Amino acid sequence: MSEIAGHARVVIIGGGVVGVSALYHLAKAGWTDCVLLEKNELTAGSTWHAAGNVPTFSSSWSIMNMQRYSAELYRGLAEAVDYPMNYHVTGSIRLGHSKERLREFQRVAGMGRYQGMDLEILAPDEIRSRYPFAETHDLTGALYDPYDGDIDPAQLTQALAKGARDLGAKIYRFCPATGVRRENDEWVISTVKGEIRCEYVVNAAGYYAREVGKMFGRDMPMMVMSHQYMLFDEVPEVAAWSREAGHKLPLLRDVDSSYYLRQEKNGFNLGPYERNCKAHWVTPDDPMPEDFSFQLYLDDLERLEWYINDACERVPLLGRAGLTKNINGPIPYTPDGNPLIGPMPGVPNAFEACVFTFGICQGGGAGKVLAEWVMQGETEWDMWSCDPRRFTAFCDQDYTVAKGMEVYGHEYGMHFPHHAWPAGRNKKLSPVHDRVASLGGQSSAYNGWERANWYARPGDDTSEEATQTWAREGAWFEAVRDECLAVRDAAGILDLPGFSRFRVQGPGARDWLNTLITGMAPKPGRIGLGYFADAKGRIVTEMSLMALDEDFLFLITAATAQWHDLEWLTAHLPAGSDIVVQDVTEAFSCQILTGPKSRDILSGITDADLSKSWLTHQSAQVDGIWCQLVRVSFAGELGWEIHSKIEDTPKIFDAVMKAGEPLGLRPFGMFALNSLRLEKGYRAWKGDLSTDYTVLQGGLERFVKWDKPEFLGKQALAAEKLSGVTKRFVTLTIEAGDCDAPYMSTLWHDGKVVGETTSGGWGHRIGKSIALGMLRADLAEPGTRLEVEIFGERFAATVQADEPLWDPGNERLRA
Ligand SMILES: Cc1cc2nc3c(=O)[nH]c(=O)nc-3n(C[C@H](O)[C@H](O)[C@H](O)COP(=O)(O)OP(=O)(O)OC[C@H]3O[C@@H](n4cnc5c(N)ncnc54)[C@H](O)[C@@H]3O)c2cc1C
């Protein structure tokens, strides 16, 4: 007889902190018929040797949410599950060396306040009152996080395991999953102790997730880095200070130098993220061992020398302490450093909760998110930042290793809105790419596709450093203004490869789409926006629907949404239907031609009827090449999107450039497009449009066809309408300083936080700083005066009418 249960609702593969937290959260939510398989002893992967830091800091809203939740959970966990453990809430001080860093701290402090946390900015002379042993002469300030601390990772895992077991969930140790197969709509998991059938399976195998992924036929975007921390002997001064204070020193993070320094007993723990970092198990001469349970890499202190010296200068006491131990362990990375939590791409009823770089501080929140994915198929918070589907087929191993090393080496790097990280580039090039580059195009990757962000003029500073600013300053800003004004006064062309495209065809295709979108699919010959809601009425995605025939539609959506949106469509296909949904992203491309002169430019090179109205499309020839000319413009001017076979784009580009040159046509980039769309109030996916908001909150009621018999989310939206919408999407103009409002800047009214921005930037046509955002509904009246907190300073702002700031009547679009 098998030693293990033959059936479970969920099987989790991997017993590190994340897998066990997932099991605990499932059990707590009532799904107790769940099993966790661990190939060795619990914590045998990265968890046993983790330093155990539990920060809440993140410049990402969703990651901060997860970490905040973890810290809250851990504070009450010992008592909740009756398992005592070491968790020290010591607070932390993040040191800033520059004005830009202080701005980052201010922004995070603002987000933290919104999430109910009191993060505090310290002036340089305040740092020593909390940390008397630090040198502060070269600092611009610091961020104090009172919730930061450290926990014993093994005890934390055991506590979660106890909680899960007490509720009835099962954990099988020394029981590796060795294979999986799909049978009768169930998963069958093979183990050394027998087989288990289950409805859902979760890959929580940490740095072994890639191996487990292969069982499902999945090539996972992950790699493994070596990460070290050093433990130092007791320092009498630290012991004396701690004794007197009655607590440990706060943790110091010198983020510009790239390390943390923590009090460990009465000595120190120093953990750098070094630039000269090392990947492991990525070359044939360094194969991944079958089993690495409870093992470490050899010490490699040479790599850390610079960091040790820097830390000794920062805290001279450290220089007097003897190094007692070094820990060098495997730590997995995805290409952006965020974990994978959510549906396993392309695999039914399978999920991922793995590749955690900060699994101890994120484990609690990750368990909650994973449990929601499995049980409800959706999450409370929008978790796109961790969704496995954000990495598509182009993320091969070379790319993943290059990005993983870049992220590790800049673990504490600032993510400036106009800066493009250089590693892993040029994965997907438009056939027009060389032309774009020779015209000065400065590009970055969108789902792997290089697109011009802006066009440098002769003499413009195109260095990385020039874009490492939060402010509206530098050559790129001036160049973007020129591009926007050219689009306003003459015309611009933007080569836009990589739009995700799906061909939807077959009997009943239109009726089916109408059950998914809140509005109505357009009639043949027309194009329109479709909003896809979930059952709660929240915004899942927005796609352009181009109707070629009654039951033949082309769906166009954001580049990064490729796998996400395709899965949404295929998951909702009616059983047994003949509707075919086909991803044709790679076959076609698009160029935007927009501006008042665009009709004149096209008229000499196309046979199309250019008098056809806004929101129509037609099959036509441009310079003898077939294309679909679509009368829309995300820039808000007269214009066409020219969709063609991807290989034909250079000929079309050349013809348009030639015809346009005498009329003032110039190429423009993504930064200009962002500025232009803000002036029109056009929403961007996963900023303005996310599952954090409902369709009604998003101000999209004009896209809701209430009298349709049924559509996904209708019930919830109808109920929300009846009870009253509590938040409203608004456009604001801000009397801002030198920075525009980043995502998730807080809105203030009468001394209270009343909303948040979802995107912001400078509108060159109107000469104003603009933010789109969500505001308490009773304040959404046009003309209401508010304040927007931008990097810690509050600036006056005005709520605008519910119409575009630029060309409110859309006359230029319709011209
Ligand atoms: C030196 C160092 C310091 C760190 N410090 C911190 C820190 O201070 N704070 C922080 O938040 N994070 C820290 N981390 C990162 C942290 O350790 C990881 O993010 C976290 O432990 C990941 O947990 P996990 O559960 O995802 O994976 P793991 O702990 O690796 O667990 C995965 C489990 O899956 C099991 N497994 C694999 N294959 C199979 C199979 N086929 N069948 C069954 N089981 C399988 C493994 O045995 C393993 O136990 C540190 C990492 C290192 C290397």
DSSP of 564-576: HHHHHHHHTSPTT
Residue 403's alpha-carbon distances to 59, 167, 180, in angstroms, are 19, 41, 30
> What DSSP character marks residue 285?
T
Question: What's this model's pTM, rounded to 2 decimal places?
Answer: 0.97
Angle at 733 between CA 727 and CA 735, to 5 degrees: 125
Q: pLDDT tens digits for 9-24?
A: 999 999 999 999 999 9
The residues near 320 (Cβ < 8 Å, ≥ 6 apart) are 235
From the alpha carbon of 17, which atom of ligand 1 is closest? 25
More confident residue, 3 or 254: 254
223 CA → ligand 1 middle, Å? 13
> What DSSP character marks residue 685?
B
Q: pLDDT tens digits for 118-141?
A: 999 999 999 999 999 999 999 999
**CA-closest residue to ligand 1 atom 51:** 50
Single-letter code of the amino acid located at 266? N
291 CA → ligand 1 middle, Å? 14
For 499-513, what is the mean pLDDT?
A: 97
Q: Which two tokens stand for residue 26?
A: 């499932």
Single-letter code of the amino acid located at 2? S
> Chain-centre distance of CA 196, in angstroms?
34
46 CA → ligand 1 middle, Å? 3
123 CA → ligand 1 middle, Å? 37
Give the SS3 label for residue 436: helix
439 CA → ligand 1 middle, Å? 47
Residue 626, pLDDT above cutoff 50: yes
| Rg, the chain, Cα only | 27
Segment (H or E) for 130 = helix 124-130
206 CA → ligand 1 middle, Å? 5
> Could you identify the residue written with the tokens 């010296």?
309
By most ligand atoms within 8 Å of CB, the mutation choice from 64, 174, 208 for ligand 1 is 208
From the alpha carbon of 359, which atom of ligand 1 is closest? 19
For 78-103, what is the mean pLDDT?
A: 97
790 CA → ligand 1 middle, Å? 37
From the alpha carbon of 327, which atom of ligand 1 is closest? 1
**CA-closest residue to ligand 1 atom 50:** 50
Residue 606, pLDDT above cutoff 50: yes
By most ligand atoms within 8 Å of CB, the mutation choice from 47, 178, 230 for ligand 1 is 47
- Angstrom distance (rounded) from CA 742 to CA 760: 6
Show the beta-strand stretches assigned E in 414-459.
441-446, 449-455
497 CA → ligand 1 middle, Å? 38
Q: pLDDT tens digits for 732-787?
A: 999 999 999 999 999 999 999 999 999 999 999 999 999 999 999 999 999 999 99
| Whole-number pLDDT of residue 1 | 45
For 528-532, what is the mean pLDDT?
A: 98
Ligand 1 first shell, C-beta below 6 A: 13-19, 37-40, 44-47, 49-53, 176-177, 204-208, 212, 227, 229, 293, 327, 329-331, 354, 356-361
Q: How confident is the model at residue 172 (pLDDT cuts 50, 70, 90)?
A: very high
Instruction: Judge contact between 281 and 224, C-beta under 8 A.
Output: yes
**CA-closest residue to ligand 1 atom 4:** 50
Query: Which residues in 482-511 are b (16+ Cβ under 10 Å) and which e?
Result: bbbbbbbebbbbbbbbbbbbbbbbeeebbe
Single-letter code of the amino acid located at 334? T
For 418-423, what is the mean pLDDT?
A: 97
> Mean pLDDT in the chain?
97
From the alpha carbon of 157, which atom of ligand 1 is closest? 25
CA dihedral 685, 691, 694, 698 (to 10 degrees): -20
For 282-288, what is the mean pLDDT?
A: 94
- Give the residue ranges of DSSP H helices in 272-427: 305-314, 359-376, 397-409
For 170-199, what is the mean pLDDT?
A: 97
- Angstrom distance (rounded) from CA 133 to CA 284: 46
Size of the chain, expressed as the number of residues it contains? 815
Residue 395, pLDDT above cutoff 70: yes
From the alpha carbon of 42, which atom of ligand 1 is closest? 49
Percentage of the residues of the chain whose pLDDT score is greater than 90: 99
Residue 719: exposed, middle, or buried by beta-carbon count in 10 A (0-12, 13-18, 19+)?
Answer: exposed
103 CA → ligand 1 middle, Å? 33
Residue 619, pLDDT above cutoff 60: yes
> Chain-centre distance of CA 325, in angstroms?
36
15 CA → ligand 1 middle, Å? 9
From the alpha carbon of 355, which atom of ligand 1 is closest? 26
Single-letter code of the amino acid located at 128? R
For 649-662, what is the mean pLDDT?
A: 98
357 CA → ligand 1 middle, Å? 8
Instruction: Judge contact between 534 and 728, C-beta under 8 A.
Output: no
| Whole-number pLDDT of residue 2 | 58
